[in-house]
Structure formats: structure tokens, C-alpha cells
Amino acid sequence: MLARNPLILLIYTGGTIGMIENPITGALENFNFDQLMEHIPELKKFNYRISSYQFDPPIDSSDMEPAFWAKLVRIINYNYEHFDGFVILHGTDTMSYTASALSFMLENLGKPVILTGSQLPIGMLRTDGKENLITAIEIAAAKNAEGIPMVPEVCIFFENHLMRGNRTTKINAENFNAFRSFNFPPLAEAGIHIKYEPHLIRRPDPDKPMKPHYLFDHNVVILTLFPGIREEIIHSLLQVPGLKAVVLKTYGSGNAPRKEWLLRELKEATERGIIIVNITQCSSGAVEMERYETGIQLLQAGVISGYDSTPECAVTKLMFLLGHGLSQAEIRRKMNSDLAGEITKNP
Ligand code: ASP
């Protein structure tokens, strides 16, 4: 049987990549799919069939919400059997949050879901959007000799690097090289060839289908410690009605000031059922609470380790687990488990 041409679904949510300068007014406007084809004639050179779905209206990714993540999962699930891969065009500002959320929502994913965007609109001469989009499509369509997708994961492709989505952080508001995966190597690099790292790429259980999830509970907060942080502020924050989980950004390998009031507040909060997850403020490296006295005291207060998780991933994982109505013990257990390649437990 002849292999058919790969079929790719391109989902445009909004963001800079999809903007085109109006030749009359000079203003940036959102494109439609036909305009995209006009601006990137290279797309016609692929032997892929590309269909598109456009958010109406497109959103700046600063307006991203869990409801839009659920919408993306609905679109992917509805089209899952018909397409070989999915490319999501997304604003860069919250792309890492969306990629992290989708990595949990698309359980046992067997097809590529590649997010990309750009720092300059696609209609501009020096745009980075063209390269990002063309390569993202190529990756979404790539299969190995057995016809199995090369990267059945939720990823971000940006400036020549394919990164596991739930490991990424936006690190630059100006340069083309806007994303970094500090704690996990790239899954592929695009140069003359796209060089994949198959040993790093996750594989689904072939005997199980992809399982979509839609629920989130956003009664969570990210709290960054700093020298001089006030007791009253932490106290009030931990008393907010409905608060269920805190991502605590501590110093270095998971350390916090040795203040009696801080440990008391954290301990009382965990005893009230609030889940407190410790991640480091450093871009790179992991929390090791056993290493210093200042970390051990947090363990004793009931705080759990977030290992080498990014803040984007820790907060979306908590929202996802809370949304599924799991018990506190079960959420604590899952926060300590690697669900979608998001943490390194034994570096
Ligand atoms: N504010 C835009 C967004 O995130 C920036 C971008 O697309 O890069 O939607």
C-alpha cells in the first residue's frame, strides 16, 4: 500500500506570529489561513496536506485561560484519528503554560503536538515566524521507518530547538531565541537536517488510546520568597478562602529563611489541607530539601518537593490534579511522580 501524504492540522490561537502588516494602514492585523499561504509560499512545496482551525477572535496569549486549553484539547481529540500531527500557533508570553497544561491533558499522546510562535510577525521581512512554522510542520509530520511519529509529545519548537513543552520557560522578550529548557536537553535540533534524539523522546503505551482531560481548578498561587518578605502578607495569602495549593519559589536548592513564623504558617496551611510545592527560584537545577537545615525544616512543615519543575509546569500540574477531584494524599503522590516527563526524580 502506498503511504499517503501526511495530514497536519494547524491551529491558530493568536499571538505575534499570525500578524500581518496592513499595506494601507500599516497596522498589525491577524491573518487568515489564505493570507498565511500567500506569505509563506514555501508551505505549498511540502507534500503535506495542511488544514487549519482558527480561534475567532484570535487571542493575545496574555488572555490565555484553562477554558482555552480545554478548547484546544477538544479540537485535537475531535481530529485525532484523521491527522498525523498538530501544530499550534500561539503567542509566546504564555506558551510554556499552555504546553505544560496540554502535556497533562493529552494522556498517552501518540501524535506530535508542536507549539510555535514568533517574536516578529510573519508578514515582516526579518520574521522568525517562517522558519519556526515550516520546521514545526515538518516535525509534526515526521515519522520513523516503521511509520511511527518521531515525536509523540507536546513540544515547543523555537529558534532551531525542539523542547519538551512542560520543561520550557520564556527567557527573552526580544531575541529570537526566546525559550529555554534548562533542566532537560532538546528533543531535536534543526540545522541542515533535523537531528532527533530518540532516546529522550517519550513513547505512548501502544495498547491504550489517547485519553483527553478537560478539568482544572485554579485555586492556586505562586509565591516567591525574598529577603524581607512580611509575615502579615504570607499569613493573609494562606488564609484566602478556597486556596488549595501554593507553588513556593524558594532559594537555591529549596531553602527558606529560618523564621519561626514562616514555618508555623506553612505547617498550619498544610494541616488545613493546602498543598505546598517547593521549587527553586534558580532557572536551572532542582530542589533538594534534605541538603540544608533551611530545607529540612520545610519538609517538616509538610512542604513537598517540586524537584526540577518549572513554575509554569508546577502550577498547571497542580491545577490539573486539583481539577480532577483527587484526595490530598493522591495529589501529593502525583506531584512526586513524573506524569509527562516534567520532572527528573533521580538526576
Ligand atoms: N503578547 C504576544 C502574545 O503572547 C506576544 C507574542 O506573541 O510573542 O500573544
Summarised one tens digit per residue, pLDDT across range 72-122 is 999 999 999 999 999 999 999 999 999 999 999 999 999 999 999 998 888
Q: Which of 56, 48, 132 is nearest to 83 (CA)?
A: 48
Return the number of other C-beta atoms located less than 10 Å from residue 81's C-beta. Answer: 9
Q: What is the pTM of this model?
A: 0.95
pLDDT(334) > 50 = yes
Return the number of other C-beta atoms located less than 10 Å from residue 294's C-beta. Answer: 17
In angstroms, what is the span from residue 22 Cα to ligand 1's centroid?
A: 18
d(CA 281, CA 279): 7
Cell of 186: 532538546
pLDDT(29) > 80 = no
- Looking at residue 344, its pLDDT comes to 95
309 touches ligand 1 (CB under 6 Å): no
In angstroms, what is the span from residue 15 Cα to ligand 1's centroid?
A: 4
132 touches ligand 1 (CB under 6 Å): no
d(CA 237, CA 224): 12
Nearest CA to ligand 1 atom 3: 91
Atom of ligand 1 nearest to the CA of 16: 7
Atom of ligand 1 nearest to the CA of 14: 9
Nearest CA to ligand 1 atom 6: 91
Contact 222, 247 (CB under 8 A): yes
- Strands of the 304-305 sheet, one edge to the other: 220-224, 245-250, 275-280, 304-305
61 touches ligand 1 (CB under 6 Å): yes
**For this structure, is 16 an active site residue?**
yes
List, for residues 124-167, the tens digit of each pLDDT value.
889 899 999 999 999 999 999 999 999 999 999 999 999 999 99
Contact 337, 308 (CB under 8 A): no
280 touches ligand 1 (CB under 6 Å): no
In angstroms, what is the span from residue 61 Cα to ligand 1's centroid?
A: 6
